[in-house]
């Protein structure tokens, strides 16, 4: 049963307000095993609403609309539903009594316009609204079920759960559950990873596998249906295992696990401590690691050594080195890593120095050139990143931070 969600309100299409109802309803429908194939947003215009409902009737068996059920001039959903179905609006006595009772409870006179909210397309069923004046509407037309709910998110949510879900179950629309799992990877490009996964992402495969990229973290999103959650999970487990095995140490973890969390998990696993010395990332690594609660046992601290002077004073980087090679150099990255490791007595010293741009690049040291240093008891090594020069400053800083943390993670993974 394909579903469509329609968000009605001029404030939504003008950009004044974000349509959050469609996202919420789609997540709920998905969990009920009802796939949503279409989202439509439109303003408060009667003709356009009738047209949109007609299009939905042609391509979806379940249509859930929100908004436009209020008593004001621009609330047109009930008129549009009636016109689309070719039936008149009729006053529903029960609805009217409920609206009158609500005003009586609040000790307020009822405006004439509120009477309009008791009008329903002929043959439709009202959905009681326990917290607002606008009742919802449940209506069959042709082979499609139309549901209209108020726009106010908390009214809509409560009515969806209390009124709509039981009716969907009753009419047999609730199908098999759909379960989603996400595996995150870092360290290679999206197209590279996709090239190694064509057999997984092929259309029509079950479980279904999709790839998305967000800030250089690549995510495999695995979806599978089943009679219940346990069955769906059991069906997708071999696919999850295959991804973990095929991509090995590129795998950061599941769900929302990103590079920082994966690094902290490794520090915890081998009980090692880390200290950081950051130049071009300005403390971003420290920020991301300390965003994870309870890391003080493994992350000792860091220094933002932005000027050469700070690299000398706080990290014991020799001035001769800075003068001979410049701050963005493997020699200085090395000295920063060694310096912070010994200053804080950490197992791992991690450093970053680079040209974040947009200015400051030279032909030899272009914007996006970053040197990383990693000092351990076994010695110190460096790594070069070329992230620019076309990338904006915040992207270069974010990528440099991620690559640095990922390098430390990989180092720990071998232990």
The nearest distance, CB 18 to ligand ATP, in angstroms, is: 7
Q: Which residues, numbered 231-270, are part of the site for ligand ATP (CB under 6 A)?
A: none
Nearer to Mg ion, 9 or 187 (CB): 9
CA 302 to chain centre: 30
Q: Where are the beta strands (DSSP E) in 228-368?
A: 251-254, 274-278, 299-304, 348-354
Binding partner of residue 152 among ligand ATP, Mg ion, none, CB cut-off 5 to 8 Å per kind: ligand ATP
- Distance, in Å, from the CA atom of 398 to the CA atom of 385, rounded to the nearest integer, reads 13
Instruction: Please give the size of the binding site for Mg ion, defined by CB under 5 A.
Output: 1
The nearest distance, CB 321 to ligand ATP, in angstroms, is: 57
DSSP 297-322: TTEEEEEE--SHHHHHHHH---HHHH
Which tokens sit at 105?
Answer: 């409870």
Nearer to ligand ATP, 38 or 306 (CB): 38
Q: Is 67 in the site for ligand ATP (CB under 6 A)?
A: yes
| C-beta neighbour count of 244 within 10 angstroms | 16
Judge contact between 136 and 124, C-beta under 8 A.
Answer: no
The nearest distance, CB 46 to Mg ion, in angstroms, is: 13
Binding mask 5-44 for ligand ATP (x = CB under 6 A): --x-x-xx----x-xxxx----------------------
Judge contact between 273 and 267, C-beta under 8 A.
Answer: yes
Nearer to ligand ATP, 67 or 187 (CB): 67
Q: Is 9 in the site for Mg ion (CB under 5 A)?
A: yes
Binding partner of residue 190 among Mg ion, ligand ATP, none, CB cut-off 5 to 8 Å per kind: none
The sign of the dihedral angle between the CA atoms of 29, 35, 39, 45 is negative
- Distance, in Å, from the CA atom of 122 to the CA atom of 167, rounded to the nearest integer, reads 19
Identify which range of 3-11, 88-96, 187-195, 222-230 contacts Mg ion by CB under 5 A. 3-11
Q: Is 132 in the site for Mg ion (CB under 5 A)?
A: no
Interface contacts to ligand ATP, rule CB under 6 A? 7, 9, 11-12, 17, 19-22, 66-70, 75, 132-134, 150-153
């Amino acid at each position: 049963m394909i579903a469509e969600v329609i968000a009605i309100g001029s404030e939504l299409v003008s950009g004044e307000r974000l349509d959050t109802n469609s996202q919420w309803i789609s997540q709920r429908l998905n969990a009920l095993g009802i796939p949503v194939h279409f989202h439509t947003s439109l303003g408060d215009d009667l003709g356009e609403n009738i047209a949109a409902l007609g299009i939905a009737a042609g391509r979806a068996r379940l249509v859930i609309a929100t908004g436009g059920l209020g008593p004001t001039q621009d609330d047109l959903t009930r008129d549009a539903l009636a016109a689309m179905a070719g039936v008149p609006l009729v006053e529903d006595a029960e609805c009217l009594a409920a609206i009158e009772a609500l005003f009586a409870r609040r000790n307020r006179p009822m405006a004439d316009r509120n009477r309009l909210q008791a009008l329903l397309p002929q043959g439709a069923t009202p959905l009681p609204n326990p917290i607002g004046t606008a009742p919802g509407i449940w209506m069959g037309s042709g082979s499609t079920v139309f549901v209209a709910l108020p726009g106010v998110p908390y009214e809509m949510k409560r009515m969806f759960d209390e009124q709509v879900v039981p009716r969907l179950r009753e009419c047999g629309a609730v199908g098999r559950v759909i379960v989603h799992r996400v595996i995150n990877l870092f360290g290679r490009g999206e197209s590279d990873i996709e090239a190694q996964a064509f057999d997984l992402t092929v259309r029509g495969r079950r479980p279904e596998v999709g790839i998305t990229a967000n800030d250089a973290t690549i995510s495999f999103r695995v979806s599978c249906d089943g009679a219940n959650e346990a069955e769906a999970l059991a069906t997708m487990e071999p696919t999850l295992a295959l991804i973990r095995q095929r991509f090995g140490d590129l795998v950061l973890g599941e769900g929302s696990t990103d590079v920082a969390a994966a690094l902290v998990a490794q520090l915890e696993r081998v009980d090692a401590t880390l200290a950081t010395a950051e130049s071009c990332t300005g403390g971003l690594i420290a920020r991301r690691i300390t965003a994870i609660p309870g890391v003080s046992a493994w992350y000792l601290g860091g220094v933002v050594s932005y000027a050469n002077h700070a690299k000398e004073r706080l990290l014991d980087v020799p001035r001769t080195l800075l003068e001979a090679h410049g701050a963005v150099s493997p020699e200085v990255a090395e000295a920063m890593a060694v310096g912070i490791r010994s200053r804080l007595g950490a197992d791992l010293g991690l450093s970053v120095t680079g040209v974040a741009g947009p200015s400051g690049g030279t032909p030899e040291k272009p914007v996006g050139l970053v040197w990383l240093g990693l000092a351990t008891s076994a010695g110190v090594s460096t790594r070069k990143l070329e992230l620019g020069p076309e990338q904006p400053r915040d992207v270069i800083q974010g990528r440099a931070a991620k690559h640095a943390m990922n390098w430390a993670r990989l180092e720990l993974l071998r232990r």
